[in-house]
Every structure is written in C-alpha cells, then in structure tokens.
Amino acid sequence: MIADLILNFFNPEIIGRVWPFLLQGFYMTLGLSALVIPMGIAGGLVIAILHSLGLRWLNALLIAYVDLFRALPPLVLLIFIYFGAPFLEIDLPKLLAVAIGFLLNTSSYYGEVFRAGIESVAAGQAAAARSTGLTRWQTMWSVILPQATRNVLPDLVSNTLEVIKLTSLASVVALPELLNNARQAQALTYNATPIVLAALFYLVLLWPIVRLLSRMEHRSLGQRH
C-alpha cells in the first residue's frame, strides 16, 4: 500500500527522468513572475497616482477599470484574449496574451493597494512638501509614495504572492511554465509524481513569502490598539 503510494506519487526513478524538464518550467515561472510583477506594479502606480489627482471624471473611469478587471476571473480574461484574438486574424504569441491578461488583472489589484496607501498618508505631508518648494511630482514621488508604500507593505507582499501563484494559469494556454511541464510529464509517465514535484517547487518558492506575510500581518494588527 505505502509502496504503491510512493510508486505513484513520489517515484524516484520518475523524479530523475522529469527533473530537468520541471526545472526548465520552474525557470520559466520565475521569468514570467519577473516580467508580470513589475508590469503590474507599474500599472498599479499609474492608476493610483492618476486617482490622486482628484479629477472626478477620471476617477470614475479608473474605478470602472479596476472593478471590471477585479470582477473578471483572470483565467476568463486570459482565455478571452488568447482564443479571441485569432477571430480578428491576430496571431497573438502566448507570452504576449499572458502578459496582457495579467497586466489588466494585476494592475487593478496593485492600483487598489497603492490608492489605499496614498490615502493613508496624512494630508499635511503633501502640504508641507509643496510649501518647501517641491513640485507636485517631486512631492508624490519622494514624499507621499515612500510613506504610502510602507503603510501598505503587507498588502503589496500579499498581492505579489497572488501574482506568482497566478502564473500557473499560463499552463492553460500551454506556456511552458512549471505546471504546464508537470502536466505534460504526468501525461507521458501516467504517474502523479511530476505534479507532486511541481507542488514542492511552488512550496519552496512561496513558503518563505507566506511566512513573511504572517509575521507582517500579525505585527501590523498589533500596532493598532
């Protein structure tokens, strides 16, 4: 029984065979994360900074954008883009489809986080910075944003964790990241070992972030009373 389980779920011979292929997928997952996280953060910053201008019509648009892409499951967005594009005779490369889908989704979430951060900085900070002769942009970039970022750091880390987990969706359009390669290896070997191995890769990568997050969240709650 136990031997059967090991054979099916943690087969050393299969681990040896699929290891290089899964490692390739793991690197792709890292690369994909390194692409989509900065894109999402940049997009979110643009949204939050535009929102801070306080223009009513612009804010209505931004909130509509943010709510729209928070309401659509990211997988729906990805499938819509990837399988919809050919109907317009656009040949969209997988990576580009994934990047566009993730940008729309993650920039909305990062936008909400940064907006809350900017709103948490006391109004006197901006007034004081402007009175020292800083321009609006300098005030935002050097005075408001550093404090805003610090105030919402747990949410930023939490969101980034979600984005890394999100990269597993790229397997649905056969982008050769970790989960995709694990599923291919599983189909070839008729064995669950590659999927278990992929899960372990994800754990090794993400567990430290989860731990960090738990510590940050408990600390920030502790400060509030």
Partner 1 sequence: MTTWERFLFSFFNPAVAWEYLPAILNGMVVTIGLALVTVAAGVVLGLLLAVARTGGLRLLNAFIIAFADVMRALPPLVLIILLFFALPLAGVSLGAFASTWLALTLVLAAFAEEIFWAGILAVPPGQWEAARSTGLSRAQAIREVVLPQAVRMTVPPLTNRIIATTKGTALGSVVALSEILNQASSSASLAGNATPLTLGAAAYLAIFLPVVIFGRWIETRFAWKR
Q: Least distance (Å) from partner 1 to the CB of residue 100? A: 15
Alpha helices in 10-168 (DSSP H): 12-52, 56-71, 74-84, 94-120, 123-131, 136-138, 145-151, 153-166
How many other CB atoms are there within 10 angstroms of residue 135's CB atom? 10
Going from the C-alpha of 150 to that of each of 109, 114, 153, 220, the distances in angstroms are 17, 10, 5, 11
Stretch that binds partner 1, among 17-25, 41-49, 53-61, 207-215 (CB under 8 A): 207-215
Q: Least distance (Å) from partner 1 to the CB of residue 157? A: 12
Cα gap 140→30, rounded to integer Å? 31
| Site residue total, partner 1 (CB under 8 A) | 53
Cα gap 181→171, rounded to integer Å? 8
Quote the tokens at residue 66.
């943010």
Question: Can residue 128 be called a binding residue for partner 1 (CB under 8 A)?
Answer: no
Phi, psi of 168 (to 5 degrees): -65, -20
Q: Least distance (Å) from partner 1 to the CB of residue 135? A: 29
- x/- mask, partner 1, residues 48-77, rule CB under 8 A, reads -------------------xx-xxxxxxxx
Name, in order, each residue with C-beta under 8 angstroms of 158's C-beta and a sequence gap of 6 or more: 213
**Which 13-32 positions form the footprint of partner 1 (CB under 8 A)?**
none
Question: Can residue 100 be called a binding residue for partner 1 (CB under 8 A)?
Answer: no
Cβ proximity to partner 1, 2 vs 137, nearer residue: 2
8: left (phi over 0), alpha (psi -120 to 50) or beta: alpha
Quote the tokens at residue 6.
């090991």
Stretch that binds partner 1, among 30-38, 46-54, 139-147, 213-221 (CB under 8 A): 213-221
Question: Can residue 174 be called a binding residue for partner 1 (CB under 8 A)?
Answer: no
Q: Least distance (Å) from partner 1 to the CB of residue 225? A: 6
Question: Can residue 9 be called a binding residue for partner 1 (CB under 8 A)?
Answer: yes
Question: Can residue 141 be called a binding residue for partner 1 (CB under 8 A)?
Answer: no
Cα gap 50→25, rounded to integer Å? 37
Question: Can residue 183 be called a binding residue for partner 1 (CB under 8 A)?
Answer: yes
Binding site for partner 1 (CB under 8 A): 5, 8-9, 67-68, 70-77, 79-80, 83-84, 87-89, 161-162, 165-169, 171-172, 179, 183, 186, 191-192, 195-196, 198-199, 202-203, 206-207, 209-211, 213-214, 217-218, 221-222, 224-225
